[in-house]
Amino acid sequence: MRIGNGSQMTSIKILVEHLNLQYSDGKESLRDINLDIQANTITVLFGPAGGGKSSLLRVFNRLNDLADVKLLSGRVLLDDMDILDLKVDVIALRRRVGMVFARPIVLPMSIKANLTYALELTGEKRVSILDEAVEKSLNQAALWDEVKDRLNEPAISLSGGQQQRLCLARSLVLKPEVILLDEPTSGLDPISTGKVEVTLQELKKIYTIVLVPHSIQQAARVADYAAFFLQGEVIEKGTGKELFINPKDKRTEDYIMGRFG
């Protein structure tokens, strides 16, 4: 979707309109969410725990299909496709919208097999194509130089930071259009966190990235656009500079300044 004209033309990759989500236990997770995710940018969803950020990520690739949901209404357009439509091929959707969780979960196999496994499931058997995909995805995740001589070693032998970047590479190997990141550096040391953040700045040239950060400092560092969530609502949204330097809503300012949360 493209909006505007001339030099003001922008491209929206995901458009959320009047989205409501309520779980069967009565907890209303999202209320009337309206948000647009610009293509080839990093959009940060930040706010206190329980605000609905992770729930929105799960909506974007239909992971909430696995939850006990009482109500789900509104529209979520990926380009021009409403991903909430029950006729949508969820497997195909998840190839277009990959997700990396806070805790790295590597498969009990080699580093290389962690990356080729998904491709082989799609029917790809050509060794040259698989090898090329492994190298490319590891380069994109800033991990190739560290593991290129260890590809046949167990993935579990990698450090925590390396495992997290391997999980990112595993998402990239399927060539998604959107990458969802749910606190991907929460358990990493500062050096590994820095590597991931630098990697994201490169990846946004190719992919659209939606990130739930592990700290307000990280949010401010990486955000092109940001949205502040509180108790299931979007309180304020705008560019990263707008929200973190000059927020308009006092609740946003109070959270950024550490007065609550």
Task: Report pTM.
Answer: 0.90
Tokens of 92: 């195909």
Tokens of 177: 């259009």
Band of pLDDT at residue 27, cut at 50, 70 and 90 = confident
DSSP one-letter code for 8:
G
Those residues whose C-beta lies under 8 Å from the C-beta of residue 235, and which sit 6 or more positions away, are 47, 228, 229, 249, 251, 252
Stated length of the chain: 261
User: Is the residue at 207 inside a domain?
Assistant: yes
User: Is the residue at 176 inside a domain?
Assistant: yes
Asked if 32 and 19 count as a contact pair (C-beta separation under 8 A), the reply is: yes
Closest residue by Cα to residue 251 from 240, 236, 238, 241: 236
Asked if 248 and 236 count as a contact pair (C-beta separation under 8 A), the reply is: yes
Distance CA 112, CA 196 (A): 20
Domain boundaries, position 199: 2-256
Band of pLDDT at residue 6, cut at 50, 70 and 90 = very low
Distance CA 35, CA 174 (A): 26
Angle at 213 (CA atoms; ends 212, 216), nearest 5 degrees? 130
User: Is the residue at 145 inside a domain?
Assistant: yes
Which single residue is written with the structure tokens 């409403």?
82
pLDDT tens digits, residue range 98-146? 999 888 899 999 999 999 998 998 899 999 999 999 999 999 998 999 9
N-to-C CA span, the chain: 35
Mean pLDDT of the chain: 92
User: Is the residue at 171 inside a domain?
Assistant: yes
Distance CA 162, CA 191 (A): 11
DSSP one-letter code for 176:
-
The count of C-alpha atoms lying within 13 angstroms of the C-alpha of 111, restricted to the half-sphere facing its C-beta, is 24
Count Cβ atoms below 10 Å from residue 3 Cβ, excluding itself.
11
Rg of the chain, C-alpha, whole Å: 19
Does 261 score more than 80 pLDDT? no
Domains contained in the chain, number: 1
DSSP readout, 35-80?
EEEETTSEEEEE-STTSSHHHHHHHHTTGGGGS-EEEEEEEEEETT
Average pLDDT on 236-242 reads 95
Asked if 2 and 10 count as a contact pair (C-beta separation under 8 A), the reply is: yes
Band of pLDDT at residue 188, cut at 50, 70 and 90 = confident
Angle at 139 (CA atoms; ends 132, 241), nearest 5 degrees? 140
pLDDT tens digits, residue range 218-229? 999 999 999 999
* CATH classification at residue 213: 3.40.50.300
